[in-house]
Amino acid sequence: MPEPQQPCYITTPIYYVNDRPHIGHCYTTLLADVAARAHRLMGEDVFFLTGTDEHAEKVSKAAAERGLSPMEWATRNAERFRDAFRFMGFSNDDFVRTTEDRHTSRASAYIQKLVDSGDIELGDYEGWYDPSQEEYVTESVAKEHDYNSPVTGKPLEKRTEQNYFFRLDKYEGWLKERIENDTIRVLPPARKNEVLGRIKQGLQKVPVSRRIKPGDADWGIRMPNDPEHRIYVWIEALCNYLTVVDEPGRRKYWPATVHLMAKDILWFHAVIWPCMLHALGEEPPRTVYAHAYWISEGRKMSKSLGNFIEIDQLRAYAEKYSLDALRWFLTTQGPLGATDADFAHARFVEVYNAELANGIGNAASRVGNMIVKYFDGVVPACSKTGFTTESTEGHGEENKWDEIASELVCRSINACEEVRLDESLRAGLELSNRVDAFIAATRPFSIAKEIDKGTHADPARGREDLHAILYQSAEALRIASLLLWPAMPSKMAELWRNWDCSPLHDPDDPDSGFRAPLSELATWAHPRWGIKPGSTVRKGEPLFMRADAKEPAPGGVGS
């Protein structure tokens, strides 16, 4: 049956290859992966792009320090990013390197188009030049160092040079209106206010080129109309989002559904890039989402402090607690909103035990084990969608499972549309926790024991209750597992294999795609996708073993 295929395009920043990847790069790409998986699960035609930004001066400098050509160093690090992303289980559809022809040729063409339309023009650039370093420094840096070189202490010179400028100023009104009315959604809301506040101070022309100086590394894309100039790396890098889909068969993905990044580079994405696109006659992105930073054990991560959480440390966590547990922790505890988040080992173990080992893992084992124990692993039949539990005060509480599940599925989808991915996942955890509470309230193990011992007051009713409790719990957990899948694709696929209900094309491959969209898959007791009475449940290994909080952090992260 053909599925509705709404195109959806999700991007991450393209990362500098002057150095190796760390937790920050993995985090944004993980968010993109979770979003991409969630949208695929909803039946959308998703294109998820990540990649590397290679033409920066810091790349050629880092290469020179190692006696390598910029391309050799860039290639080595691009491979490290690819490796890290493979290890994290990312499902990106492409990986762009800005040194590839497909990018350089189209980026040049866009710049030429902007020159032709008069949106890029030659102008004078005036700034503080450091002759000892052959570079311009910003007004604030110059002032801070009393107009002397921050590196050598020699006097700075006020210099003027000709550069190409993009007429950002022309689009101030256009942009302001679109951000204000959410045609371009800037999220989270605090970031929207911040960007609007800055726009209101006025937009100025931005330099888009650098004149090539003698001795410069031959690195970067030249201005198509003036090869004495190189396109400023930021301007060219932004173009990657369009260069990769500007080809037959991929145009349908434009405009981008969401550009993801951290707050450091929001201005480029929420202001400069939409205006460049508008000038090119292209639609601006629908959403620009800027999260906050990971910090480490309470301190900002920086090169000078040397406290970046490295990929090897993430690998050690994945090895000890499983990759899916790491993905869960990062997505649900990370700096998705406006505040920074701390990577602390103690917190990891706390979340792992509470939400995974004692949460979804325990709920799935309990329900699976009871079906194995009381019904020889054959899922019992149950026609009811609700169950009334007796409370101690004698008031019954009705558990309308079909309604509970559909409400949480809706909540999950709505949160996902607003990139609140942690909340989207939490809806799945909440459903699983409801099952746990349901079992605690209905005590199926006591009912089974009483029937077995012949002490149950009404054994026929008892058996019926046992059927209903276990069928409903299993079906609710099946739906919960769909909502948890974007963060934990392998563990959820494992559960589906044990419960003989895989919604995947290939039950052994969590990336094989779903056989129906979430709207169908998550329907309570769906005749095709629901847990089927009579099907077999295997007693599998626990999805998550409990962790000992006293054990040291794997890979040596913090306390």
268/375 with CB nearer ligand ME8: 268
285/428 with CB nearer ligand ME8: 285
54/475 with CB nearer ligand ME8: 54
Minimal CB distance residue for ligand ME8:
24
CA-nearest of 440, 277, 465 to 386 is 465
φ/ψ bin of 376: left (φ > 0), alpha (ψ from -120 to 50), beta (otherwise): left
379 touching ligand ME8, by CB under 6 A = no
CA-nearest of 355, 331, 276, 325 to 115 is 276
Return d(Cα 13, Cα 168) in angstroms, integer: 21
42/237 with CB nearer ligand ME8: 237
Tell me the HSE value of 301 on the side-chain side, using a 13 A CA sphere: 21
- Two tokens at 55? 């033409």
CA-nearest of 368, 495, 480, 489 to 430 is 480
Beta bridge pairs of residue 36:
none
| 3 state DSSP class of 283 | coil
279/309 with CB nearer ligand ME8: 309
Pairing between strand 299-300 and 294-296?
antiparallel
262 touching ligand ME8, by CB under 6 A = yes
Residues 294, 485, 496, 544: which binds ligand ME8 (CB under 6 A)?
Answer: 294
Query: Which 194-253 residues touch ligand ME8, going by CB under 6 A?
Result: 237-238
301 touching ligand ME8, by CB under 6 A = yes
Stretch that binds ligand ME8, among 104-112, 187-195, 242-250, 261-269 (CB under 6 A): 261-269
With CB under 6 A as the rule, give the number of residues binding ligand ME8: 18
53/494 with CB nearer ligand ME8: 53
| 3 state DSSP class of 50 | strand
From residue 52 to residue 91, the character string flagging contacts with ligand ME8 as x (rule: CB under 6 A) and all else as - is -x--------------------------------------
Q: Assess contact for 281 and 114: CB atoms under 8 A.
A: no
Pairing between strand 206-207 and 222-223?
unpaired
- For CA atoms 267, 269, 270, 271, the dihedral sign is positive
Q: Assess contact for 433 and 359: CB atoms under 8 A.
A: yes
Minimum Å gap between C-beta 72 and ligand ME8 is 19
16 touching ligand ME8, by CB under 6 A = yes
Return d(Cα 315, Cα 181) in angstroms, integer: 43
273/524 with CB nearer ligand ME8: 273
Stretch that binds ligand ME8, among 89-97, 182-190, 258-266, 314-322 (CB under 6 A): 258-266
343 touching ligand ME8, by CB under 6 A = no
Minimum Å gap between C-beta 343 and ligand ME8 is 9
End-to-end CA gap in the chain = 53
Residues 109, 265, 316, 516: which binds ligand ME8 (CB under 6 A)?
Answer: 265
Minimum Å gap between C-beta 483 and ligand ME8 is 25
From residue 17 to residue 56, the character string flagging contacts with ligand ME8 as x (rule: CB under 6 A) and all else as - is -------xx-xx------------------------x---
Residues 79, 134, 180, 264: which binds ligand ME8 (CB under 6 A)?
Answer: 264
Where do runs of H (alpha helix) occur along 286-400? 311-321, 323-333, 345-351, 362-375
Residues 261, 288, 363, 439: which binds ligand ME8 (CB under 6 A)?
Answer: 261
Return d(Cα 506, Cα 496) in angstroms, integer: 11
Q: Assess contact for 287 and 185: CB atoms under 8 A.
A: yes
174 touching ligand ME8, by CB under 6 A = no
Give contact residues for ligand ME8 (rule: CB under 6 A).
Answer: 13-16, 24-25, 27-28, 53, 237-238, 261-262, 264-265, 293-294, 301
